[in-house]
Amino acid sequence: MADRVLDGPLRTVGLTIPGAEVFVTSSPGDDAVEAVRQARADAAVVWSRPQAHRDLDGVVLGSVPFGVVLPEEHPLADRAEIPVTALGHEPVVMFPRPPFSGIWQRAVDHLLPRGAQLGQVVVEPDLINSPEAMVRAVARGSGVAPGILGVAERMGVGGIVVLPLDPSLFLDLEVVWRRPARPAVRRLVDFLVAAVDDPEVLVSAPRRPPAGASGQGLRTTFSQPSALFVKMS
């Protein structure tokens, strides 16, 4: 999903770092962090990094707004926004929890603040085609699903609507790297930090402070899986 949020900047990142060749690869969740740890990648863009992943340096790029994807015939589909209290009995379609434990739990807890009942969360196992697979499952009537506002409605899947939530759901997007950072990695981080200021990029200022993180980086704000890792040569 991170590649959809940063689609524009990622198309040009290879032109911004003189003397370095940049490879951007999608990866299922926690593997992006492991790729950086194992030096298979120089940096990764990750969602809601859990405490166990805070051995890497990182900087919060910003917060991404999520809404809820509903079948277009759903009784709530004509509302301007959906109160989470109205979703208490809805089946919720999610990607597999591992390897996305951080973002998975936050999304489920937000959509179902009173807790999920047995069988209420429906797992869509198709990681290769996620998040489109989740949206198609909603269109087939499997339930409702979280979706990035401004992205989910542009996937070309018919029979769905995407609406804001009340209260809003924002998830942090962060870039992480190993220390000490090579100059090329620092230039990459600088580029991504600047890129999210573009109004066409679906990232806003972080909506909550980072929890329990420390480290060295280009900013003093450090946050807390993702789909991208970057290798430079």
pLDDT, tens only, 88-142: 999 999 998 887 766 889 999 999 999 999 999 999 998 778 889 999 999 999 9
Question: What stretch(es) of the chain map to CATH 3.40.190.10?
Answer: 64-166
Please spell the DSSP secondary structure of 168-223, one letter per residue.
-EEEEEEEEEPSSPPHHHHHHHHHHHHHTTSTTSS-BS-SS---S----SSSS---
Contact predicate 56/45, CB 8 Å: no
Q: Confirm if 223 and 172 have CB atoms less than 8 A apart.
A: yes
> CA–CA separation, 165 vs 125, rounded Å?
25
Match domain 2-63+172-232 to its CATH number in 3.40.720, 1.10.246, 3.40.190, 3.40.50: 3.40.190
CA quadruple 74, 80, 81, 83: dihedral positive or negative? Answer: negative
Q: pLDDT per residue over 132-190, tens digit each?
A: 999 999 999 999 999 999 989 889 999 999 999 999 999 999 999 999 998 889 999 99
Collapsing DSSP to helix, strand or coil, 141 comes out as coil
The model's confidence at residue 29, banded by pLDDT at 50, 70 and 90, is low
Please state, in angstroms and as integers, the Cα–Cα distance from residue 193 to each residue in 33, 48, 123, 164, following that order.
Answer: 19, 17, 33, 26
Q: What percent of the chain has a predicted confidence (pLDDT) above 90? A: 50
Please name which of 2, 4, 6, 3 lies closest in space to residue 201, comparing C-alpha atoms.
Answer: 6
Per-residue model confidence as pLDDT tens digits over 46-102: 887 878 888 999 999 999 999 999 999 999 999 999 999 999 999 999 998 887 766
pLDDT of residue 220 exceeding 70, the answer is no
CATH of 64-166 among 2.40.30.260, 3.40.190.10, 3.40.190.290, 3.40.50.1700: 3.40.190.10
Mean pLDDT value across residues 198-223: 50
